[in-house]
Structure 1
Amino acid sequence: QAHMVSKPLLLLLLLLMHASSEVLLEKVGRAGVITINRPKVLNALNLPMIRQIYPQLKKWENDKETEIVIIKGAGGKAFCAGGDIRAVTEAGKAGDPLAEDFFREEYILNNAIGACKKPYIALIDGITMGGGVGLSVHGRFRVASEKTLFAMPETAIGLFPDVGGGYFLPRLRGKLGLFLALTGFRLKGRDVQRAGVATHFVESKKIPDLEKELVDLKSPSADDVSRVLESYQNQSSLDSEKPFVLDKHMSDIDSLSHSLCLLSQTLARMSPTSLKITFKQLQAGAALSLPDVLVMEYRLSQACMRGCDFYEGVRAVLVDKDQSPKWNPSTLEELSDQTVEQCFSSLGEKDLTF
């Protein structure tokens, strides 16, 4: 009897373990549920979390008892505000393999989400940027709410819209994806669905009920999931009368394809190297499969680790927060096409493979 732990104490221990895990992986009914659980840092994604999610996703995909996968963020503010960029920066400077491993394993997870045979439902109720976009946008269903804030702000830190941005962005209507990629423009609420980033819009307060209904489905098909999502969307009229935020700019945006210079004011703050890489990444990505895009993006990620703009961008935006990065080269004109080309070249045996 002496070694028995009292029931309340056991519950407390379990709660503490739960609270400290950065990702919660639970089986609820016929659903595998992933909860990103770092609310204090807006659920930023790090390598240990990727290493927990990936094998579990593969396991659920092959498990006859699991019919759907749901992913959500804890804390009510963010789904996932991005990758843990500061850790990657430190590693890159020190020549630590984390700078290779993080991108490699993150992209392998992005690809697994895109290829998942079971309905994958991302509840992007809150801030969804960078790495958080990679955890959601390649899945079959993405549910936005009025609290959703979507952006791919990488060009401002000397990076490029990765995690498969080269695949999904050029597939948005017109040149909208290119505009979002170059400017880091933020879409909010219903506009995230109108842009084609989310598949559905459901008011935030209805999402817990929606989740319960999804979890309670008996052997659901993708069509069953679709029906439930649509019924909740039909009950969500918030902001439905407001036009799409970029409606009146769409004709200007669609003529972007010819020239980066059109955006010179907005883009003056961005890394010229990032802008040129991103422009070429989206052009190429429009004709590639998701796995091929991720192979290309892995090459680009490593080129950014070798360069200097990424470290300078993180310093200016995230560390010193002086918002005045010194880019090198500092203008688009100084950057040769050859330098850009080199960023896309094969890494030989270090290339990403699936």
Structure 2
Amino acid sequence: MGLPEVWNLLCRFNSFKRTNIILQHLRMSKHTDAAEEVLLERRGCAGVITLNRPKFLNALNLNMIRLIYPQLKKWEQDPETFLIIIKGAGGKAFCSGGDIKVLSDARNTNQKVTQDLFREEYTLNNAIGSCQKPYVAFIHGITMGGGVGLSVHGQFRVATEKSLFAMPETAIGLFPDVGGGYFLPRLQGKLGYFLALTGFRLKGRDVYRAGIATHFVDSEKLGMLEDNLLALKSPSKENISDVLDAYHTKSKIDQDKPFILEEHMDKINSLFSANTVEQIIENLQQDGSSFALEQLKVINKMSPTSLKITLRQLIEGSSKTLQEVFVMEYRLSQACMF
């Protein structure tokens, strides 16, 4: 073997070695990233959960659920932890929903993943709803689907002018789950039915006015609010509420603007009060106003099956407990997957 051949062989060996080292690093970083998709910290008097996938708008996956749930349970039992704060990294989203890619991949290949994901997500949502410690969610930025499940069942939900809430599931062949069957029919009038069927987006202070958030705070004050909460000494639920109320009262952004759906609430209450999707569609057609026709256009783009499931889910859920709703939604989720 001549010198050029030996040289080539060495180069190929080095390149193989390099590739292996790079792959090893990637595997390690993937493993590290998995652990850092959620940051769980004890700070001051609180346990702080930070959803840490800003590039993916903090979309929720099974790994994140499995990190949050046991820690939430530990903090709930810990006498030194007086409240739990959950927030999203990156400023654009609290949590844009469940990781759809993981779901669609699993839908085709692995039924167990979809069973585990929905079961464990709903178990976490239920734990938030029954949490014995005050639970404060900063729903700053995009908050949809799975992000709603991580926030809306908690005691305190803080919106900002950059909040964007929606439950867009009827457009993708699903239904507004994560306890949507519980909280949506309990919003004012038929607002929840309207939001669920049309996927209508609420922004800023309207997230508070609709009853999704309990408080509204200027986004630039969010860091200060968090610091004030963390600095409390052995706070009661009332102490925490007082701090949130003070920030809410000081916020002037869009204070004088009416709720975006205010002028349409009478129509929403009458048009969306039917027990069948067909009747709602007929109501919208007969009404004929520009608002009704706009909603008709939106509903016609949705999955017809999803619309029917969603309406039934909300009607049934209106008289169920949160836990009963999760049992119902788990069964529905599995039926929708296959």
Q: TM-score range by the shorter chain?
A: 0.7 to 0.9
SS of the aligned residue for 1:97 comes to helix
Matched, 1:54 2:69: yes
Aligned to 1:174: 189
1:83 and 2:98 aligned:
yes
* 2-structure distance, mates of 1:213, 1:181: 35
Contact 1:128 1:151 (C-alpha < 8 Å) held by counterparts: yes
Residue 190 of structure 1 pairs with residue 205 of structure 2? yes
SS at match of 2:229: helix
Q: Deviations over 1:81-136 (max 9, x none)?
A: 00001111110111341111100000000000000000000001110000000000
Aligned residue pairs, count: 291
Could you list the per-position Cα deviations for residues 143-172 of structure 1 after superposition, in whole angstroms to 9, with x for gaps in the alignment? Answer: 000010000000000000000000000000
Alignment of 1:203-352 (within 5 A): 203-255=218-270, 256-258=272-274, 259-261=279-281, 262=284, 263-306=295-338
The equivalent of 2:150 in structure 1 is 135
In the alignment, structure 2 segments of 5+ residues that lack a partner are: 1-30, 285-294
* 2:85 counterpart of 1:65: no
SS of the equivalent of 1:293 reads helix
> How much does 1:264 deviate?
3.0
Deviations 1:25-44 (A, max 9, x none): 00001100000000000000
**Equivalent in the alignment of 1:24:** 39
* Structure with the larger helix share: 2
- Alpha-carbon separation, structure 1, partners of 2:111 and 2:312: 28
Amino acid paired to 1:139 = G
Q: Distance in 2 between matches of 1:48 and 1:267?
A: 34
User: What is the CA RMSD across the aligned residues, in angstroms?
Assistant: 1.3
Q: CA deviation at 1:265?
A: 1.9
Deviation at 1:19, TM superposition (A): 10
Q: Find the aligned partners of 1:226 and 1:116 in 2 and give their Cα distance.
A: 16
Query: Retained in 1: the 8 A contact 2:34–2:63?
Result: no
Aligned-partner SS, 1:162: coil
Paired residues of 2:97 and 2:146 also in contact (CA < 8 A)? yes
- Partners in 2 of 1:205 and 1:90 — Cα distance? 39
Structure 1 residue aligned with 2:56, among 41, 61, 66? 41
Code of the aligned partner of 1:280: R
* Bigger radius of gyration: 2
TM value normalised by structure 2: 0.84
Q: For each residue in 1:212-265, what CA deviation from the matched residue of structure 2 results, as whole angstroms up to 9, or x when unmatched?
A: 000111111111111000100111101101110001110110011113212432
Paired AA for residue 260 in structure 1: I
State the TM-score, normalized to the length of structure 1: 0.81
Q: Which residue in the other structure is 1:162 paired with?
A: 177
- 1:292, 1:53 → 2: CA distance? 22
